[in-house]
Amino acid sequence: MDFHPQSDSALDRLTDDEIIDYISSARRAGSDAHMRQGIGILAFRRFDMVKGRIGNKVGADVDIEDIAMQVMTNAIEASFKGEHMGEFVNMLLTMTARRIADFHAAKKPESDPYPTGDGGDEDNYIAVPGIDGHEGFSVTRDLVMRDLDDLSPSHRLVVIYDIRGDSAAQIADIVNNKLDPENPMTSTNVHKITSRFRERMHVAIRGAG
Amino acid sequence: MDRVEEIFNEYVASYLAGESDPRPFTGQLDGLDREELVILIDNYLTTAPGRKWDPEAFRGSQAEAMVEPLAKSLVGGSGTWPSLLPELRHQRRIRRKDLVAELALALDVPESEERVAEYYHGMEQGTVDSSGVSQRVLMALGKILRTKDVVLREAGQAIAGMDLKGQQPTFARLSPAPAKKGMDSDAMAGLTGQRSPGFDGSHKLEKKTDLIVDRLFTGGN
């Protein structure tokens, strides 16, 4: 296969996956310099996104640049090992999310996984509203946050506003304005999301009891 | 505009200017407001534009620091060791010198630490053919780096589709090692014609344990 070297600015106009193809072609052609050129442009393009997402989920004392470098490195290597299908950026997002989860799992204390709100620091509890006039309940912030992490941004935002006490119509309106989701949120969607959330909280608490 | 939105907009401006750490921004809020900001930032980052190429900003950046080990992983015969080994070493906060001393000790060749250092350096540089590195070395290394030898073995597999066109399999000596007077037969049998980079055959008289090290790092099994 012929390899056609490109300028930095031409490479910068390519998609991530086209840059990976370029690196691959340069490697096959034995052109180390162009392989390095492609790696540099791809790493530079995506590093801030990875670093930002990690920084968004870990404490101020964590060296996020170090973790971001590891994630980027692993993602680029994986793309040459045939370990991923689909777009590079999606794999990068998945690997970043996994790395954040691993980070928290490694830090999590083993005892008392689901404290139910008896005693302890009151600031650490969140009151979840009830359904249709039924009384609400209180769960730990940790339990809520763990559940939220598994949801999409729009669903997470719905839960946050629900806990704040906004109505379903208000929540749908705010989420549509702030996130501009592909499928606009409706009041019915909001009800479904919040009901499922409350059900999961109940199950988690029952399971812990 | 509420406070959360205001801070979110400030973060976006900061991100586009090249500073992507959100913690100075999320740290300004607490409770549910903070959670809301975290969600908005997370959502933004999943679709945020990649950073436009800027050679000035690239120079000395973390992205630049990634290039060398990645390039070595892609073209060398050591799989992803060039990125994995320094990463594990960094996580365990072990200096290379100390790791080498521990490894030489674990392999029962403390007097050949220098030789072990040459090979280990080659593993990090991607110049050691991973198929030649014995299980014993990987087990000892795994213990020091607190990882499984199988993880190291898999990482050492050369990346698929590799074609060393224009590249030398840099760690392989192109001609067999010359027989040395008094060389033990085991060591001789283990030699596969590989030698560490930079070895010119004259810098020092080889120790008997050096030959054992050669076998451990090039003889496979």
pLDDT 10s digits, B137-148: 999 999 999 999
- Contacts with B40 from chain A: Cβ below 8 Å: 153, 157, 178-179
Per-residue confidence (pLDDT) for residue B131, from 0 to 100: 87
Per cent of chain B over pLDDT 70 is: 78
Pairs from B53-62 (Cβ < 8 Å, separation ≥ 24): B53/A8, B53/A9, B53/A11, B53/A12, B53/A41, B53/A44, B53/A45, B54/A44, B54/B18, B55/A8, B57/A44, B57/B18, B58/A40, B58/A44, B61/A44, B61/A47, B62/A47, B62/A51, B62/A65, B62/A68, B62/A69
Helix (H) / strand (E) element for A109: namely none
CB pairs A-B closer than 8 Å: 157
Record: contact B163-A28, CB cut-off 8 A: yes
On whether both A83 and A170 belong to a single domain, the answer is no
Tell me what the pLDDT averaged over chain B comes to: 80
Domain carrying residue A43? 8-107
Asked if residue A194 is part of any domain, the answer here is yes
On whether both A149 and A100 belong to a single domain, the answer is no
Asked if residue A96 is part of any domain, the answer here is yes
Q: Which one-letter DSSP state was computed for residue B169?
A: -
Asked if residue A112 is part of any domain, the answer here is no
| Contact between B103 and B120 (Cβ < 8 Å) | yes
Chain B's closest residue to A165, CA to CA, is B32
Residues ≥6 apart with Cβ < 8 Å to B173: B193, B194, B195, B199
Record: contact B63-A157, CB cut-off 8 A: no
> pLDDT tens string for chain A (209 positions)?
578 999 999 999 999 999 999 998 998 888 999 999 999 999 999 999 999 999 999 888 888 998 999 999 989 988 887 666 678 999 999 999 888 888 877 776 554 444 444 444 555 666 666 655 455 666 666 667 777 777 888 888 888 888 878 889 989 988 888 887 778 889 999 999 988 888 888 787 776 65
Q: Does A28 touch chain B (CB under 8 A)?
A: yes
pTM of the model: 0.68
On whether both A88 and A150 belong to a single domain, the answer is no
Asked if residue A91 is part of any domain, the answer here is yes
Spatial separation of the C-alpha atoms in residues A200 and A203, rounded to whole Å: 5
On whether both A152 and A80 belong to a single domain, the answer is no
Record: contact B52-A93, CB cut-off 8 A: no
Q: Which one-letter DSSP state was computed for residue B46?
A: H
Where b means 16+ CB within 10 Å and e means fewer, A44-64 reads bbbbbbbbbbbbbbbeeeeeb
How many domains does chain A fold into?
Answer: 2
Asked if residue A93 is part of any domain, the answer here is yes
Per-residue confidence (pLDDT) for residue B128, from 0 to 100: 86
Per-residue confidence (pLDDT) for residue B202, from 0 to 100: 43
Q: Which one-letter DSSP state was computed for residue B112?
A: G
On whether both A19 and A83 belong to a single domain, the answer is yes
What are the E-state strand segments in chain A?
125-128, 137-140
Count Cα atoms within 13 angstroms, Cβ side, for A54: 26
Of B43, B45, B71, the CB nearest to A32: B71
Of B26, B67, B74, the CB nearest to A80: B74
Q: Does A206 touch chain B (CB under 8 A)?
A: no
- Contacts with B45 from chain A: Cβ below 8 Å: 49, 52-53, 56
On whether both A79 and A166 belong to a single domain, the answer is no
On whether both A63 and A136 belong to a single domain, the answer is no
| Closest CA of chain A from B84, distance in Å | 9
On whether both A14 and A89 belong to a single domain, the answer is yes
Which residues in chain A (105-144) have CB-CB distances under 8 A to chain B?
Answer: none
pLDDT at B98 over 90: yes
| Closest CA of chain A from B63, distance in Å | 5
pLDDT at B18 over 70: yes
| Closest CA of chain A from B64, distance in Å | 6
- Contacts with A68 from chain B: Cβ below 8 Å: 62
Query: In 3D, which of B78, B83, B80 has the Cα closest to residue B196?
Result: B78
Spatial separation of the C-alpha atoms in residues A38 and A12, rounded to whole Å: 9
On whether both A91 and A150 belong to a single domain, the answer is no
Of A29, A64, A156, the CB nearest to B21: A64
Asked if residue A55 is part of any domain, the answer here is yes
